Amino acid sequence: MSEVLTGKINQICFYSEETDFIVVNVTTNEMDRPVLMTGYMPDYSTSLTYRFEGEFTTHHKYGKQFKISSYEVVTTDDGEAVVRYLSSSLFQGVGPVLAKHVVEALGPDALKKIVENPDALNQVRGMTEERKKVIEKVLTEKDEQHKTLQFFLSHGISLKMATKIMGVYPENTVQIVSENPYLLAENVEGIGFKTADELALSLAFQPDHPYRLQAALLYIIKQECMNQGSTYLGYEIISSRFKRQFPMIDDMTEILEALLRDEKIVLEDGRYYPESLYRAEKIIANTLKKYIAGVSNPDYDFEDVEEGIATLEEKWNIEYDESQREAIYAFLENDLMILSGGPGTGKTTIVKAMLTLYQKIEPGKQIALVAPTGRAAKRLSEACELEATTIHRLLKWDVYTNTFNHDENHPISADLLIIDEFSMVDTFLFSRLLAACGQVTKILLIGDEAQLPSIAPGQVLYDLIETKQIECVFLKHIFRQQAKSGIISISHAIRHDELHALEEIDNYQDIHFMPCKEQDVIRFVSKIIQKAVDEGYDFYDFQVLSPMYQGAAGVDAINEALQNLLNPKAENKPEVRIYQHIFREGDKVLQLKNRPDDNVFNGDIGIIIEIQKKDGFYYQQDKIFVDFEGDIVEYTSQDFNQLTLAYCMSIHKAQGSEFKIVVMPFVFRHGRMLKKNLIYTGMTRAKQALFLIGEKQAFISGIAHNENKRETTLKECFIQKEALSPYDFID
């Protein structure tokens, strides 16, 4: 239930200039003690009286607070407050004396009178033209901000989102948005075509308005590229998708040409690219060419390197094979290198050796270790004994503007950049990372091209290997201690299309195939997971991976079954329903969206530690608190769609993660999703035990089915002679 409080800010506890998020203590007319308030305020003053609308909530750490949903300045009859406001630092050159003169001349409602008629200031004793302009400018800007906020709030846009919009369009906001609301879908993070379309229709835009049709077509192109993982589309695909949504439009030629004129899409050789993806491929190709051309000559001696390798072998009690030694020398001799190999081939071991030798040869050089996901970064950090982070965190991604603080003009501080799990890195993200590498002299890309490509458009690792211009070392030898592993042996057999090796599954202790019908999958899965729990494994140790969400062996059905098994309904256990899903305290959940401010990213797994149920008194809305291995994150009702149950997840969501025990169902219903790289990726998530359950022929058919490669032109950009493009001149 929304409440209204009126009062003044008496203490600013926290304010973010980047996001306009504020935490303040407010003395109100309605409460006998100061109220802690949180929310988004593009402007604020300790001198003005505000009317706040919102609701009381209880934070698990900071206690009861008032969450602001909207606010406005209240016209005050307190002359002293007006004096304090006008003599504040906002009004340069206006001191207490002049401020008193303003109130004396115009009365306690002076601010309102000035906004309505700035010439009223001519009545004030001692007023100069310069000071008049200062007062007029500040008050006009503040008034405009409040009007802007009210505009968005009246059209169903939240205060938080309105603040984001005002950050992107700080001037003439209402005018810009009113003229073309669809700009929001292009330029404001968190606003898609649907939200922009709802705003436009509420502003009386016609269904066939050119802006609407252009925005819809652009959305279709971008969405279809995302769905296919491609960086461009052909005309026929675009035409059919647009016709499906707008059957009343006979010809989309004009709409397409408008997007081309505005450079929102690019046409080249019959291919239609979203501008960002076209430019991203060019940036990647042109940047990496420079690293290839600039082979460094480090000051090292062959014998010194050999001695260093021998020292490491003795220290770590290992023996590097020929391909690993080749990898070490290739790394030292080249500014750009790809290190590839399947599980058990010692990629992590050899990277640790590379880093140790590099630090010895190049003391004082800065090293940046990154990975696409938080869990992958954590594994890399533990393996290399150096701090690693996500790519988004390294680039200081601003979730509110969807921009990176590190870019061409503000490069990262690193000499060596190492990227692990590189198969997951998409075209756009890699281009942004390379753009910020102005100080980086050496790059090492580590990945397994046989795994699934990135969720977003591109197949960067595969394309770069295919260019055959980058130094690549493929580790093939499986270490003796790993060769006993069925998980590793069978995974390598699948990687190399050696299907006869499947007959050997029963000869290994760590991999099992358990045949059953689709309707029996949940029963088998439940037995395995229950046994794991009984043996002391926790929720982070085991993971069920399914190719699809629907069906008796799909993600949703398995999640529901395991939730009832491991965390059943109880009288004293709070729960909330979110659409078709129920969440309980103690549930294992998956994060679906990046939240860099909370150090939580898409794919992270956590445990619900508390649920606050709306009661209309203490709690004004439902809240969920999740523990992501030490990071506690609060979710309100509008954020609940960022969570889903994680007892079972899709194989795509498991990329970059490893689990002691993995269970994977295979049934014919999953047929269209079952492909070799998907199965291979899922299997290689297991470290100690892998259980394959279901219809064996579905499994065999899947690994025999190679995924069609995505439509990209990175390889083409890379190997063609560099030609001038207008995009080369864009900063």
Per residue in 487-507, pLDDT (tens digit) is 998 998 898 888 887 888 888
Please report which helix (H) or strand (E) contains residue 578, including its range: strand 575-578
Mean pLDDT (whole number) for 113-126: 88
Low-confidence winner among 267-276, 382-391, 633-642, 721-730 (lowest mean pLDDT): 721-730
- Give the position of tokens 């969206």: 593
Write down the H helix ranges in 188-234. 193-202, 210-228
Q: Which of 101, 161, 163 is nearest to 132 (CA)?
A: 101
**pLDDT computed for residue 672 by the predictor:** 79
pLDDT of residue 91: 84
Separation of alpha carbons 702 and 696, rounded Å? 10
Q: CA dist 86 to 91, 110, 111, 132, 447, Å?
A: 6, 10, 9, 12, 61
**Cα(199)–Cα(502) distance, rounded to whole angstroms?**
56
Mean pLDDT of 350-363: 91
Give the number of other CB atoms < 10 A from CB of residue 464: 25
Tell me what pLDDT residue 226 has.
Answer: 94
Higher pLDDT, 714 or 65: 714
pLDDT higher than 70, residue 37:
yes
Q: Is the pLDDT of residue 18 over 80?
A: no
Percent of the chain exceeding pLDDT 90 equals 47
What's the whole-model pTM score?
0.81
Whole-number Å distance between alpha carbons of 540 and 279: 40
How many beta carbons lie within 10 A of that of residue 321, not counting itself? 16
278 pLDDT more than 80 = yes
Do 423 and 453 form a contact (C-beta atoms < 8 A)? yes
Query: β-strand 588-591 against 605-612: which pairing, if any?
Result: antiparallel
Name the strand (E) or helix (H) holding 700: helix 696-703
Residue 296 clears pLDDT 60, i.e. is over it = no
Q: Which amino acid is at 187?
A: N
User: How far is the C-alpha of 372 from the C-alpha of 392, rounded, in Å?
Assistant: 8
Task: Tell me the pLDDT band of 301, cut-offs 50, 70 and 90.
Answer: confident
Residue 583 binned pLDDT confidence (cut-offs 50, 70, 90)? very high
Can you tell me whether residue 368 is helix, strand or coil?
Answer: strand
Q: How far apart are the C-alpha atoms of 481 and 345, rounded to whole Å? A: 11
Note whether 19 and 403 are within 8 A (CB).
no
DSSP letter at 501 equals G
pLDDT reported for residue 616: 60
Residue 106 phi/psi, 5-degree rounding, is -110, -15
Backbone phi, then psi, for 380, in 5-degree steps? Answer: -65, -40
pLDDT for 231 = 97
d(CA 23, CA 14): 5
The pLDDT assigned to 730 comes to 45
DSSP state of 423: G
Report which of 587, 609, 602 is spatially closest to residue 539, judged by C-alpha positions: 587
Instruction: Provide the terminal-to-terminal Cα distance of the chain, rounded to the nearest Å.
Output: 48
Q: Is the pLDDT of residue 85 over 90?
A: no
Going by their DSSP bridges, the two strands 588-591 and 35-40 should be labelled as unpaired
Number of other CB atoms surrounding residue 453 within 10 Å: 25
Residue 596: what pLDDT?
75
Report strand pairing: 49-59 vs 588-591. unpaired
